[in-house]
């Protein structure tokens, strides 16, 4: 084919048919440009296909992360609900000046605890690397940002408050007022009567109960959003098949 075009060009020049040669040359340029554009379009299609494949794989990883998050959040909510009930019972004992029982000692071991919550974001980080704007579904983009940027941040903030109260208020108090303390199991005061009459201790427990409730709310909200996000990802994936 190339040999044919070269021969045609040489014949036109030899015969001094300049106008036809110019038309031929323009046509040849147009063909070259069209070829380049087609090649670029094919390359763009291939790149877009690679991007879509990578985004789908990242979304699948997000889904796997969310499934693990829901399991962990459900577990942490159950544990913290038990902590809240224990702390509420201790407050009631102190307010009503009741005698301490084995249940009270077990409950004292669960007050004002700092418990970690680990959430995964590997898939979300990968989507950010690929470009969040490349996700075509706007509602899915908003849901992802809402869960990972707002939900995760809220939990981190609540956990930071828990850590501060645990380390700055509770641990120093334990060291000076308890003879035995086993994390999450039991705590035995040096002097039961002194603990009962300590207004600072009672007020601190009440204030911490508010923080614990906020932490629970943050976990519950994240759990609900994670479940909704899983359903949204499943819906988008089904629509693409």
The Cα–Cα gap between 113 and 166 comes to 6
- To the question of pTM greater than 0.85 for the whole model, the response is no
Ordered per-residue pLDDT tens for the chain, 241 residues: 545 555 555 655 555 555 554 555 566 677 666 766 665 666 556 666 777 888 999 999 999 999 999 999 999 999 999 999 999 999 999 999 999 999 999 999 999 999 999 999 999 999 999 989 888 889 999 999 999 999 999 999 999 999 999 999 999 999 999 999 999 999 999 999 999 999 999 999 999 999 999 999 999 999 999 999 999 999 888 777 6
The Cα–Cα gap between 155 and 157 comes to 5
Assigned domain for 235 exists: yes
- Closest to 216 measured CA to CA, from 64, 85, 122: 85
Assigned domain for 111 exists: yes
Domain of 160?
66-240
Assigned domain for 61 exists: no
Phi/psi at 117 (nearest 5 deg)? -130, 120
Assigned domain for 42 exists: no
pLDDT in the model for residue 136: 86
Q: Six-digit token pair at 58? A: 């990242």
Q: How many domains does the chain have?
A: 1
- Closest to 113 measured CA to CA, from 191, 167, 76, 173: 167
pLDDT in the model for residue 43: 56
Assigned domain for 180 exists: yes
Note the Cα 155 to chain centre separation in Å: 10
pLDDT in the model for residue 96: 94
Provide the H-helix boundaries in the chain: 2-14, 18-95, 102-108, 122-130, 138-145, 152-165, 171-177, 192-196, 199-240
């Amino acid at each position: 084919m190339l040999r044919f075009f070269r021969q045609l060009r040489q014949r036109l020049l030899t015969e001094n048919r300049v106008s036809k040669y110019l038309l031929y040359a323009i046509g040849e340029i147009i063909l070259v440009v069209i070829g380049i554009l087609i090649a670029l379009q094919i390359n763009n299609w291939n790149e877009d296909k690679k991007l879509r494949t990578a985004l789908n794989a990242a979304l699948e990883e997000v889904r796997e992360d969310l499934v693990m998050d829901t399991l962990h959040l459900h577990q942490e909510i159950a544990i913290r609900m038990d902590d809240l009930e224990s702390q509420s019972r201790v407050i009631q004992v102190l307010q009503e000046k009741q005698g301490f029982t084995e249940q009270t000692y077990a409950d004292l071991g669960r007050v004002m605890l700092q418990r970690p919550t680990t959430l995964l974001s590997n898939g979300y980080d990968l989507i950010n690397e690929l470009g969040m704007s490349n996700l075509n579904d706007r509602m899915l983009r908003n849901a992802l940002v809402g869960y990972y940027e707002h939900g995760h941040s809220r939990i981190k903030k609540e956990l930071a408050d828990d850590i501060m109260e645990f380390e700055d208020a509770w641990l120093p108090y334990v060291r000076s007022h308890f003879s035995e303390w086993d994390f999450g199991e039991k705590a035995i005061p040096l002097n039961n009567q002194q603990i009962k009459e300590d207004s600072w201790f009672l007020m601190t427990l009440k204030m911490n109960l508010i923080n614990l409730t906020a932490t629970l709310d943050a976990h519950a909200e994240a759990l609900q959003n994670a479940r909704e996000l899983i359903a949204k990802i499943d819906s988008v994936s089904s629509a693409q098949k």
